[in-house]
Each structure stands twice: as structure tokens, then as C-alpha cells.
Amino acid sequence: SVPDQEINRRLIQSSINTNAHESDSIRESNASGRIRVFVSHSSRDRSYVEREVVLFLNRNGIETWYSVDDIEIASDWEERIQAGLKTCNWFLLVMSKNSANSPWVKNEVRWALHHMPGRVVPLMIDEVNPADFSLILQIIQHIDFRIGRSARDRLLKLWKP
């Protein structure tokens, strides 16, 4: 197991080393109409995320990259998550008390804000301060899943106008 500090360093370095080709890839996939959403969450919220977010999106025709579904047993988690981030053109942050305390989630958020500007969607499931993830999230409108069906409809409108 790689210590958290080393994982943080590697994700930040990966972010620095990412070249224009990856940004072009995101633009190309958007132009083709293909939507693929990276779902960033705390593993402590797994059952909620699977039931209320991933299943909901998949049932409505939105393709997701989700760590439980997309990382094979014995795979290098960091490598697979980086690959997952690079194959998605949207980033959905499930904001909870658990994810606010996850260094891993915060690194994914930093990567997405840098590489997917305008394509980061904060989704609130607990009362949390968006600044706990990144100062930039304070100025991005979030979707509050605690309010029910209207929030789900609003999320779908992003990808299915």
C-alpha cells in the first residue's frame, strides 16, 4: 500500500504532466455527443452512490466511470483511477462529510478542475462546505440531492437537454 502522501504526490505530478492531447480528447468526445461521467466519492458512501447516483444515471442513458465497477481485482488503483479520469469528459463530485475528509477525493477534484474546467458538477448529499474540497468549488453551482426528484431532473438536464 502506497502512503497517502505518495499517492497525493503522484496525482499532482500526473496533473502537471498531462499534455494538450488529453484536453483534445475531452473536446473530441464532447463534440461526438458521447457523455462519460467520472463519479468521485468516498468509499464510505458507496451504497448511497451506487443506489442513488450511478444506477440513476445509468438507467437514464448516462455512461459512468465508477471505481467499484471499473477497477478489476488486483489492479493498481491509482493507475486505473487516472485512466478513468482521462477517459471521461465530465466529473461528478459526490459531496458528503465522508468525501470532504478524503485526501483521495480532493486530489481527484484538483485534477478535474485543472483538466475539465466547466465540466465539474458538485452534487451535495450532506451538509458540507464546498471549500472543504477546493476554494474554486465555492463559485460553482451545486446540485442538492437532498431535495429530491427536482435535483435529479436538474442533473439529467446537463446531459439530456
Q: Which residue has the higher pLDDT, 31 or 43?
A: 43
> Which residue has better confidence, 125 or 7?
125
Report the predicted TM-score, pTM, of the whole model to 2 decimal places.
Answer: 0.77
The DSSP secondary structure of 19-57, one letter per residue, reads: -HHHHHHHHHHHHTT--EEEEE--GGGHHHIIIIIIHHH
Q: Which residues of 45-68 are buried (b: 16+ CB within 10 A; e: fewer)?
A: beebbbebbbebbeeeebebbbbe
Residue 110 grid coordinates: 484538483
What is the tens place of the pLDDT at every residue in 96-138?
999 999 998 999 999 999 999 999 999 999 999 999 999 999 9
Confidence band for 26, pLDDT divided at 50, 70 and 90: very low
